[in-house]
Structure 1
């Protein structure tokens, strides 16, 4: 193996795939990055038990120049640190003796002991048949992941709640996540190559990594789904993720079908007020009091103090209400609502409040379960 590559191209590829390196894996080869030099370019791959990321740097004779094909798996930690500290813009990687990678840049020459790349699990090994394929605009997909995945659970007590449910029905794709207290849902119109329906649960943490790779907002991401894997393909990158087994809880009876009051409020003003009152909120619990012209927010912590804030209402339809909820959870929802104002629906003291971004083009909703208080 022998090829030349610019530092920028090499760093870009390594920074993508290193997110999938199994740092603490008992299997040494999974702590490395698989480098494959082919006639058409360089393929970098990292893999853990949940996710595989593959980055391709095509042969162009300028940023990448492959002179001899071959492959090796290199310890990711040392390789990444070495590349970052090299000063010269052009880097040469060569295998001069078996499983020894020589890295040359300017006056620097580093020799790294590698592992056999044929033993590394490939993203294309045992190619599965992916019967379900669809496309989503990068900007739309990134914003949807940001909105929905934020409420997925981080506790492994119920593994299905650590994922995001993808419900596809013809040209409609609905993403749902919940941690048992909050719920987020968004429905998208997508380009689908099939008319089949499918429901799969994808780990939220893997979706976050995918969202970070969606650079060009005008391009699309291709999604391929099989029985136990999902693959995301975006320019120069492929991410393959395991699916979470189990049944995602039904939300049919969770979303209130009627409401006693609906208010419309400026999102930026509300977010600022919620952030303010949550500072002194004992256990992050804040109180919302909706009156005729204003929404009052209150919180207190014994022996420290209390805060009261007000936000003007743009609309109020229905009866006035008082409800307590987790301020930090409310902040997460507001920060990830891409809109100028939000509609909040109150359906009773024991029912979750429903938050809608006030944009008719977005089929997005958030739920927060209220907190019972003594007063």
Structure 2
């Protein structure tokens, strides 16, 4: 073990730890994965954490104000105790030193803490990008928005593992994200930049994508996405995130999306969401009935022995005939919360066919489906 010695500002360290600790679980069966791998190089420190499904790596460059590197080295420290100790130290510079063995000494003012570490050679190494399948860049704000809109439709049940993922289908500079839980579906197509001209289709765990979207802080920056082996890598500035892929074939949606509709209404998105949230309060088994009248979309729900709720949303436009249908209100509310446009088009395609939701936006390629619920009346 090299005799590591550095000085680092507390605020800089806390900022890094808040990112990399996202994937650390104190209950991991492998003790080394309950830790943070700290590698000190001549000009930077690399912090790495992993839970086998995701790996986060952050590179902090030497800076006379926030980081001074005296001697290189490395150690894996227990994340839980490390962050709790750091939070309680005084502001300003903190000294980290390894004099011998696997003991990290932390000094701040009159405080001195010694933490037993683990040999960094036991920490799984981050893979090199050999045999790239595809490589492209996306604006962070666009990527986060797309993940939020699509991943909501992925399944949380492990009964069909492929449905817990989001399909990334890259072809001819365009990337289509699709997710479905068998009842609802979300899809969005976006344009990518600086591409490696290879088509590819991968399946990424939706839960990992949620965490990745939270880690992308600067909306004006771009993220490079690279596929290789059985992994996908997201890189933006000093941050690198690897995720495993789901093995399996994502169901084709070509025959699921209705190509025609019987009726279409245009509604104000926030008004529809508020009305749906209100009606959902008394929705027994989450079932909500919706029906069109001359100028409104009427919503109704009830719970036996408790009561019922009726609400109405004004129609901005309507085309086609009146309709009525029953839906799972909770699932529809989740979709409506991810809509970012002021208006939404709702298309009725048949009593037993999916309802189609399309955000009203000139540049939008977002589409949501939700399957109706059969009722006795």
TM tier relative to shorter chain: over 0.9
Between the aligned partners of 2:116 and 2:177, the Cα distance in structure 1 is: 44
- 1:52 matched to 2:55: yes
Q: SS state of the match for residue 48, structure 2?
A: strand
- 1:71 matched to 2:67: no
Whether contact under 8 Å (1:36, 1:43) holds in the other structure is yes
- 1:109 matched to 2:112: yes
Say which of 143, 158, 174 aligns to 1:141. 143
Say which of 310, 331, 334 aligns to 1:332. 334
Whether contact under 8 Å (2:357, 2:369) holds in the other structure is yes
Between the aligned partners of 1:153 and 1:93, the Cα distance in structure 2 is: 44
Between the aligned partners of 2:346 and 2:374, the Cα distance in structure 1 is: 19
Matches within 5 A, 1:1-375: 1-124=4-127, 127-375=129-377
Between the aligned partners of 2:159 and 2:104, the Cα distance in structure 1 is: 43
Between the aligned partners of 1:129 and 1:80, the Cα distance in structure 2 is: 37
Q: SS state of the match for residue 139, structure 1?
A: helix
Between the aligned partners of 1:282 and 1:162, the Cα distance in structure 2 is: 26
Gaps of 5+ in 1: none
Displacement after TM superposition at 1:22 (Å): 4.0
Between the aligned partners of 1:194 and 1:281, the Cα distance in structure 2 is: 49
Between the aligned partners of 1:204 and 1:274, the Cα distance in structure 2 is: 25
TM-score normalised by structure 1 residue count: 0.98
Between the aligned partners of 1:17 and 1:84, the Cα distance in structure 2 is: 15
Alignment RMSD (CA, Å): 1.1
Displacement after TM superposition at 1:23 (Å): 3.0
Closer, same or farther: CA 364–127 of 1 in aligned 2, 3 Å: closer
Q: SS state of the match for residue 154, structure 2?
A: coil
TM-score normalised by structure 2 residue count: 0.97
Displacement after TM superposition at 1:147 (Å): 0.5
Whether contact under 8 Å (1:264, 1:314) holds in the other structure is yes
Whether contact under 8 Å (1:170, 1:194) holds in the other structure is no
Between the aligned partners of 1:231 and 1:358, the Cα distance in structure 2 is: 32
Between the aligned partners of 2:159 and 2:27, the Cα distance in structure 1 is: 22
Displacement after TM superposition at 1:84 (Å): 1.3
Between the aligned partners of 2:88 and 2:206, the Cα distance in structure 1 is: 33
Whether contact under 8 Å (1:88, 1:106) holds in the other structure is no
Between the aligned partners of 1:231 and 1:353, the Cα distance in structure 2 is: 35
Between the aligned partners of 1:3 and 1:175, the Cα distance in structure 2 is: 43
Q: SS state of the match for residue 200, structure 1?
A: strand
Displacement after TM superposition at 1:192 (Å): 4.2
Q: SS state of the match for residue 57, structure 1?
A: strand
Query: How many residues of Structure 1 are paired with residues of Structure 2 in the alignment?
Result: 374
Whether contact under 8 Å (1:287, 1:324) holds in the other structure is yes
Between the aligned partners of 1:288 and 1:181, the Cα distance in structure 2 is: 17
Between the aligned partners of 2:302 and 2:20, the Cα distance in structure 1 is: 46
Between the aligned partners of 1:305 and 1:106, the Cα distance in structure 2 is: 63
